[in-house]
């Protein structure tokens, strides 16, 4: 079997897994492992080592097999064979031992790992919990508290920390195979016996009363709406009262219930969508890319500073340019302050701070951008200012430099057209705060060269962003979809919902923030300016009327202490404002809108279905490559709940016919309101797929 190789080296039987790219536990790997373990019971070996080829130890179950019937042997059968081996079995870990991969290591009798390796149980990130003994073995080896932290959050830990926790026995520096063989020979010399984790006792030492409930409460907030972390806590708690086999049964039961849930299906969809989004359909994967060793950023405001930090964090030198020397100094100070916050949170040390700051050089002179490989413009959102910046860059920058705009809305082609090198111009739309948000919309202009796009997609990975390709249109993918979402939120107010009801309904549904609280956070002046600059919208007197009123009253949101809500000056705590509720009533009356009681179900449909509808148009026009790309934009850039998989995945789960019919009902509910008909016109792709009984995912697959 090619996935598994078995050979004897001295006293040691070496089982090597070779299943690129991440040695996932496919059927072939499971069968090969079991065969090798069974075979080795009767040969001359005295101990067995399980080691992997390639970039990592086994990174988990093969996620692509989930949802299909399990082919024997199951992972449970394989781990049982390993644990029952009469000869000691040693896992030799490099890269990442994750999920079922780490569970395989835990079923071994001893574990060694390279000092650079990581181990973890990230199943909750896929809406799952460890399904093959992870919740039962980690508490036995490392205690309840470590198990709760590792399993309910899902972040991997370093080999060193795993050793401290008792999950790894021996850390190796240098050559893993050499080190693992030497360790195994040593165990043979010591006549070490198979040490089975299932036989270990879970200690209740140091477990304060209420620990499990405090995790339940914490996770109900931190992983709001997610079922898997709560199931994981139950399974870990069960180790204190149940036998190993009883615990395994409970774990499998909960694992299967998660696996078959829409939540896990949505989160697995996002896992693959995130990886697929980085691939550009019509550009060859081996397209040569341009070398980016230095970057210029224009504008030292919040956005420019945040963007600069991304590059400094990745070890790439930045020239941060602002023509206003004071603004530049302020910008550099804000960057330093942000790094200091990271130090306070234990994520950075002083040396790293100084290293990163030394990579950022301030400048007030465009000539300092002559030699940079990439320039990102992050100036005020005004097409004329942007055009003049690009005209200057065209004069100054070296041939082959990539010229990028961080615009959120403007026409990248019009900006490119002021240069003599539109092939080198691209949009790189970062999201605020740019040093935190994972999303990067890469905007392809009509003339952008393929290698410029390929370079941008690769660069996104280097600076730890998730990239999604978008075509040129107003607002690209994310902000374009937001137009009708925001409109509906304000229509709901006129029709009788309070800001509190709209926001709390959406937050309970899973959004990181409700739309009105989001407006207050972003600043109501920003939205106002954007709306005033738009000439393409119908002249609807109801459109964002409440926002406009608030702006005109000087209520700009959090920054002025009041917007849709009132904010406490010290704590920034949000409070409902009865004056605003009264104001909305008066305005509704003036506009002839009859107020009524609005259900939560209606609020959700009124807000999420416009996203789906516009998403369908974006797909049809080729602005986004795939429905999954839109989902990635919303999950990583707009606080859409990951357990709902993004708007297009959610639509598939609801059923496109249902979405289409509801949109038609909203369109037709007030024949006198012509704007209703315009905003709720169903997208033709949605209508087509609804009639054909298809999903967006099926439509996308048929185009591969
Ligand atoms: C589990 O184990 C359940 C068990 O408890 C119980 C079972 C009964 N399967 O991320 P990359 C693909 S649940 C299939 O770009 P990196 C990925 O799609 C699992 N495919 O690489 C991509 O494909 P492509 C628990 C997988 O170096 C390629 O590999 N484990 C899997 O940046 C490269 O991936 C996890 O959740 C998989 N398990 O990062 C770990 N994993 O090239 C999930 C990856 O076609 N994996 N692929 O786009 C990871 O976190 C990262 O992939 C890893 C490598 C850190 C390993």
Task: State the span(s) of the chain assigned CATH 3.90.226.10.
Answer: 4-251
pLDDT of residue 672: 83
Architecture of domain 294-474: 3-Layer(aba) Sandwich (3.40)
The string of DSSP letters for 503-536 reads HHHHHHHT-SS-HHHHHHHH-HHHHHHHHHH--S
**Given 3-state DSSP classes, what are the helix, strand and coil percentages for the chain, each rounded to the nearest 5?**
50, 10, 35
Could you confirm whether 274 is annotated as catalytic? no
pLDDT of residue 671: 83
Q: Does residue 22 line the site of ligand 1, with CB under 6 A?
A: yes
Determine how β-strand 374-377 pairs with β-strand 402-405: parallel
> 475, 463, 477, 484: which is closest to 625 by C-alpha?
477
Atom number in ligand 1 closest to CA 63: 9
Atom number in ligand 1 closest to CA 100: 2
- The Å distance, Cα 31 to ligand 1 centre, comes to 20
Q: Does residue 154 line the site of ligand 1, with CB under 6 A?
A: no
- The Å distance, Cα 645 to ligand 1 centre, comes to 17
- The Å distance, Cα 65 to ligand 1 centre, comes to 12
- The Å distance, Cα 201 to ligand 1 centre, comes to 32
Q: Does residue 132 line the site of ligand 1, with CB under 6 A?
A: yes
pLDDT of residue 204: 84
Q: How many whole angstroms separate alpha carbon 90 and alpha carbon 105? A: 8
Other C-beta atoms closer than 10 Å to the C-beta of 341 total 10
Cβ-proximal residues to 70 (8 Å cutoff; 6+ apart), any chain: none
Q: How many whole angstroms separate alpha carbon 430 and alpha carbon 449? A: 20
List pLDDT tens digits, range 271-285: 999 999 999 999 999
Q: Does residue 103 line the site of ligand 1, with CB under 6 A?
A: yes
Q: Whose CA is nearest to atom 43 of ligand 1?
A: 59
CATH of segment(s) 4-251: 3.90.226.10
Cα–Cα–Cα angle for 445, 626, 423, rounded to 5 degrees = 15
pTM (2 d.p.): 0.95
Task: State the span(s) of the chain assigned CATH 3.40.50.720.
Answer: 294-474
H helices present in 359-498, as ranges: 383-396, 412-416, 450-462, 478-494
Q: Does residue 120 line the site of ligand 1, with CB under 6 A?
A: no
pLDDT of residue 656: 98
Q: Does residue 24 line the site of ligand 1, with CB under 6 A?
A: yes
Atom number in ligand 1 closest to CA 62: 9
Atom number in ligand 1 closest to CA 279: 48
Mutation to probe ligand 1, out of 23, 26, 54, 60 (largest number of atoms < 8 A from CB): 60
CATH of segment(s) 488-594: 1.10.1040.50
Cβ-proximal residues to 136 (8 Å cutoff; 6+ apart), any chain: 198, 235, 239, 244, 247, 248, 251
Q: Which of 53, 65, 83, 103 is catalytic?
A: 103
Q: Whose CA is nearest to atom 15 of ligand 1?
A: 275
Cβ-proximal residues to 353 (8 Å cutoff; 6+ apart), any chain: 336, 339, 340, 342, 343
- Would you state the structure tokens that stand for residue 12, as one six-digit string? 């040691």
pLDDT of residue 570: 87
Atom number in ligand 1 closest to CA 101: 2
Cβ-proximal residues to 489 (8 Å cutoff; 6+ apart), any chain: 502, 514, 515, 516, 519, 607
pLDDT of residue 1: 53
Could you confirm whether 103 is annotated as catalytic? yes
Q: Which of 3, 83, 123, 237 is catalytic?
A: 123
The string of DSSP letters for 78-125 reads HHHHHHH-SS-EEEEE-SEEETHHHHHHHHSSEEEEETT-EEE-GGGG
Residue listed under structure tokens 């009883």: 246
- The Å distance, Cα 63 to ligand 1 centre, comes to 7
Q: Whose CA is nearest to atom 16 of ligand 1?
A: 22
- The Å distance, Cα 234 to ligand 1 centre, comes to 26
Helix (H, G, I), strand (E, B) or coil at 382: coil
List pLDDT tens digits, range 595-646: 999 999 999 999 999 999 999 999 999 999 999 999 999 999 999 999 999 9
Q: Where are the beta strands (DSSP E) in 145-215?
A: 157-158, 170-172
Q: How many whole angstroms separate alpha carbon 440 and alpha carbon 550? A: 31
- The Å distance, Cα 394 to ligand 1 centre, comes to 42
Other C-beta atoms closer than 10 Å to the C-beta of 695 total 18
Q: Does residue 78 line the site of ligand 1, with CB under 6 A?
A: no
Task: State the span(s) of the chain assigned CATH 1.10.1040.50.
Answer: 488-594
Q: Does residue 98 line the site of ligand 1, with CB under 6 A?
A: yes
pLDDT of residue 684: 98
Q: Whose CA is nearest to atom 5 of ligand 1?
A: 130
Which residues of the chain have a pLDDT value below 50?
none
Cβ-proximal residues to 125 (8 Å cutoff; 6+ apart), any chain: 154, 267, 271
Q: Does residue 48 line the site of ligand 1, with CB under 6 A?
A: no
**Facing residues of 393 across strands?**
none
List pLDDT tens digits, range 128-174: 999 999 999 999 999 999 999 999 999 999 999 999 999 999 999 99
- The Å distance, Cα 272 to ligand 1 centre, comes to 9
């Amino acid at each position: 079997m090619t996935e598994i190789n078995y050979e004897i080296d001295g006293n040691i039987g070496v089982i090597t897994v070779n299943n690129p790219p991440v040695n996932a536990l496919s059927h072939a790997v499971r069968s090969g492992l079991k065969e090798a373990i069974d075979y080795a019971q009767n040969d001359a070996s005295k101990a067995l080592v399980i080691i992997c080829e390639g970039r990592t130890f086994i990174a988990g179950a093969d996620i692509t097999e989930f949802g299909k019937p399990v082919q024997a042997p199951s992972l449970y059968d394989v781990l049982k064979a390993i644990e029952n081996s009469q000869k000691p079995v040693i896992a030799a870990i490099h890269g990442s031992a994750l999920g079922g991969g780490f569970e395989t290591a835990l079923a071994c009798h001893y574990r060694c790992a390279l000092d650079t390796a990581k181990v973890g149980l990230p199943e909750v990130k896929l809406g799952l919990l460890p399904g093959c003994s992870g919740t039962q073995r980690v508490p036995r080896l490392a205690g309840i508290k470590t198990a709760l932290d590792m399993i309910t959050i899902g972040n991997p830990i370093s080999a060193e920390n795993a050793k401290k926790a008792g999950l790894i026995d021996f850390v190796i520096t240098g050559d893993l195979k050499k080190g693992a063989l030497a360790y195994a020979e040593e165990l043979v010399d010591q006549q070490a016996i198979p040490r089975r984790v299932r036989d270990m006792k879970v200690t209740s030492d140091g477990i304060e009363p209420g620990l499990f409930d405090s995790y339940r409460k914490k996770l109900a907030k931190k992983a709001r709406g997610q079922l898997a972390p709560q199931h994981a806590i139950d399974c870990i708690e069960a180790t204190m009262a149940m036998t190993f086999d009883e615990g395994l049964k409970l774990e499998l039961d909960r694992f299967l219930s998660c696996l078959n849930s829409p939540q896990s299906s949505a989160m697995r969809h996002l896992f693959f969508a995130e990886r697929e989004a980085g691939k550009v359909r019509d550009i060859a994967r081996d397209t040569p890319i341009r070398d980016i060793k230095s970057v210029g950023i224009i504008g030292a405001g919040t956005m420019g500073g945040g963007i600069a930090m991304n590059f400094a964090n990745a070890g790439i030198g930045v020239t941060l340019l602002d023509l206003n020397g004071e603004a530049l100094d302020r910008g550099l100070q804000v960057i330093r302050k942000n790094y200091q916050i990271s130090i306070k949170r234990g994520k950075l040390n002083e040396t790293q701070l100084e290293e990163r700051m030394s990579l950022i050089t301030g400048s007030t002179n465009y000539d300092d951008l002559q030699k940079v490989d990439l320039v990102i413009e992050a100036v005020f959102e005004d097409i004329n200012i942007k055009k003049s910046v690009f005209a200057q860059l065209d004069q100054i920058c070296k041939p082959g430099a990539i010229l990028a705009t961080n615009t959120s809305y403007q026409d990248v082609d019009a900006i490119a057209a002021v240069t003599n090198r539109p092939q080198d111009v691209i949009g790189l739309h970062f999201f605020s705060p740019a040093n935190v948000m994972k999303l990067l919309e890469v905007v392809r202009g009509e003339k952008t060269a393929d290698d410029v796009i390929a370079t941008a997609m690769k660069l996104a990975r280097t600076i730890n962003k998730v990239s999604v390709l978008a075509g040129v249109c107003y607002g690209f993918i994310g902000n374009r979809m937001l137009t009708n979402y925001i409109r509906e939120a304000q229509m709901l107010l006129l029709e009788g919902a309070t800001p509190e009801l709209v926001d709390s309904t959406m937050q309970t549904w899973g959004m990181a923030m409700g739309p009105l609280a989001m407006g207050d956070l972003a600043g109501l002046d920003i939205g106002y300016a954007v709306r005033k600059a738009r000439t393409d919208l119908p002249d609807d007197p109801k459109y964002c009327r409440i926002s406009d009123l608030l702006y005109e009253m000087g209520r700009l949101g959090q920054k002025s202490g009041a917007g849709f809500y009132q904010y406490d000056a010290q704590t920034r705590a949000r409070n409902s404002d009865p004056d605003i509720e009264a104001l909305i009533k008066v305005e509704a009356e003036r506009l002839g809108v009859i107020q009524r009681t609005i259900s939560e179900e209606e609020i959700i449909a009124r807000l999420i279905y416009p996203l789906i509808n516009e998403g369908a148009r974006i797909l049809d026009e080729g602005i986004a490559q795939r429905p999954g790309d839109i989902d990635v934009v919303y999950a990583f850039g707009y606080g859409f709940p990951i357990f709902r998989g993004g708007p297009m995945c959610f639509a598939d789960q609801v059923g496109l016919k249902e979405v289409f019919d509801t949109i038609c009902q909203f369109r037709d509910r007030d024949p006198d309101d012509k704007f209703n008909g315009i905003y709720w016109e169903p997208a033709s792709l949605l209508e087509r797929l609804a009639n054909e009984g298809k999903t967006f995912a099926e439509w996308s697959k048929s185009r591969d």
